[in-house]
């Protein structure tokens, strides 16, 4: 990594950015056991169809997953299972760091770091933001 020029570094950063959203990690996780279409992801992860579609597109654009169209359905699958090695590496690392005494798959549910609030609260006020 030492010898990377700026565009290359941007690609590496973009890769990490693709993995930096919980819902996308959940999607990758769901694809562990095989390909899924958008509807299945929407159901399994209990998110909106629009959101699932968007994040799947982002993951595909980042080269993490691949799309296969079949009729009106779009099936997505992991492009390279080595991604999971990476995830597990990070999980181990993170697990070590926070809660040296708490197992990673246990529940360290006390210290949620900024729970990603749900956005959109006021219905429509047309730019009030004073």
Partner DNA sequence: CTATAATATCGTTATGTAGTGATATAGTCA
Partner DNA sequence: TGACTATATCACTACATAACGATATTATAG
Residues near DNA (CB under 7 A) are: 17, 21-23, 37-39, 42, 47-51, 53-58, 67, 71-75, 114, 116-122, 124-129
| Residue 100, contacted partner among DNA, a copy of itself, none, CB below 5-8 A by kind | none
Cβ proximity of 72 and 39 under 8 Å: no
| Residue 101, contacted partner among DNA, a copy of itself, none, CB below 5-8 A by kind | none
Which of residues 46 and 122 has its CB atom nearest to a copy of itself in the complex?
Answer: 46
CA 45 to chain centre: 12
Rounded Cα–Cα distance for residues 107 and 113 (Å): 14
The mark string for 91-120 relative to a copy of itself (x by CB under 8 A, - otherwise) is: x-xxx-xx-----xx-xxxxxxxxxx----
Give the residue ranges of DSSP H helices in the chain.
6-18, 22-30, 38-45, 49-61, 82-97
63-69 contacts at long range (C-beta below 8 A, 24 or more positions apart): 64/18, 64/19, 64/28, 65/27, 65/28, 65/31, 68/35
Q: Under the criterion CB under 8 A, does residue 77 sit at the interface with a copy of itself? A: no
Q: Under the criterion CB under 8 A, does residue 128 sit at the interface with a copy of itself? A: no
Which value, in Å, is the radius of gyration of the alpha carbons in the chain? Answer: 18
Q: Which two tokens stand for residue 130?
A: 């004073």
**Residue of the chain from 32, 54, 68, 77 that contacts a copy of itself (CB under 8 A):** 32
Task: Tell me which residues touch a copy of itself (CB under 8 A).
Answer: 1-17, 19-22, 25-26, 29, 32, 63, 80, 82-91, 93-95, 97-98, 104-105, 107-116, 127, 129-130
């Amino acid at each position: 990594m030492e010898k990377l020029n700026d565009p290359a570094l941007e690609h590496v950063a973009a890769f990490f950015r693709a993995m930096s959203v919980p819902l996308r990690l959940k999607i990758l996780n769901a694809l562990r056991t095989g390909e899924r279409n958008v509807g299945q992801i929407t159901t399994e992860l209990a998110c909106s169809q629009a959101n699932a579609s968007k994040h799947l597109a982002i993951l595909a654009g980042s080269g993490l997953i691949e799309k296969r169209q079949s009729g009106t359905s779009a099936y997505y699958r992991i492009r390279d299972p080595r991604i999971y090695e990476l995830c597990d590496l990070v999980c181990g690392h993170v697990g070590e760091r926070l809660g040296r005494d708490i197992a990673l798959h246990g529940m360290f549910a006390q210290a949620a770091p900024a729970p990603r609030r749900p956005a959109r609260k006021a219905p429509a006020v047309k730019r009030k933001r004073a």
